[in-house]
Structures are given as C-alpha cells and as structure tokens.
Amino acid sequence: MNIDVRGQNLSLPDSLRIGVHDFKVVDNHPFRERSDLSGQCDHGTREIRIRRLDSGGCVVSGTNLLVTYLHELLHAIDRVYGDGTVTDGDKGELAISCLSEGLAQVLIDNGMMVIGEQRAVVDQIEKGKA
C-alpha cells in the first residue's frame, strides 16, 4: 500500500505477521455496510481494511491513511497479544487513537519510516536474502 506523506511516497506492507497470524491489508476497502468507518481490523478473516475516501467521498490525506493503518495495526496487536484488553477498556478506542496518532508522528519525524528511495534499498536487500 503506497501513500503520499509530505510529498514523499511511503510504502506500507500489504500483509503483516502479528503473533503467528498473517493479516492481509485491504487497500481502499469501500465499507458499503458502514459509511462512518475509515478503517477496520477483522480478526475473523485476519484483514486490516483501509478506506481512501471519507464518508463524503473526499480523498483521505496520506497522514490520515498512515494513522488509520497504525490504528488498525494496534487493534490487531491488542487482540493477538492482549486478548483485546486495551480496545475493550472504558477508554480503549481513545487509547488506540492516541497511540496511533503519536506513533505516526514519532516514526515520521525521527526518520523511522522508510520513505521513497529508502524503500527501494530495503527491497533490494530483502530480495538478496531470498
């Protein structure tokens, strides 16, 4: 899944291994059944779904897509490793939202996200190991 963050291409994995489970990232899921969702983690099908258009049909910004991606990732981690302890708590959704917003900022502003040409280098390294 590629997104534009501050004018740079950010390549996010299309699948994630969390615990022993492989989650598929479904890019641009339409969410026909619920127009208020920007993302969703389905633990039954092991899918993380991301929507690129908001409920009004407007394009979602790259930074918002990144925050949504991390938000759903944190739900998956919480379910797999914590049996949903954070999510199911009184302020669980708020906690996940705070962590995803903060994580996105810290990862970007401290050079911990692989962007653009760096991704190509990582891909070459990974191919060399395969």
Residue 11 pairs in a beta bridge with 2
User: CA 103, CA 82: separation in Å to the nearest integer?
Assistant: 19
> How far is residue 121's CA from residue 52's CA, in Å, rounded to a whole number?
27
Who contacts 45 (Cβ-Cβ below 8 Å, separation ≥6)?
none
Window 93 to 112, contacts with Zn ion (CB under 5 A): 96
Is the Cβ of residue 73 or residue 96 nearer to Zn ion in the bound state?
96
Pick the stretch among 10-18, 46-54, 90-98, 105-113 that binds Zn ion (CB under 5 A): 90-98
Contacts of 90 (CB under 8 A, 6+ apart): none
Minimum gap (Å) between residue 88 Cβ and Zn ion: 11
Say how many residues touch Zn ion, by CB under 5 A. 1
Site string for Zn ion, 46-75 (x = CB under 5 A): ------------------------------
Residues of this chain that interact with Zn ion (CB under 5 A) are 96
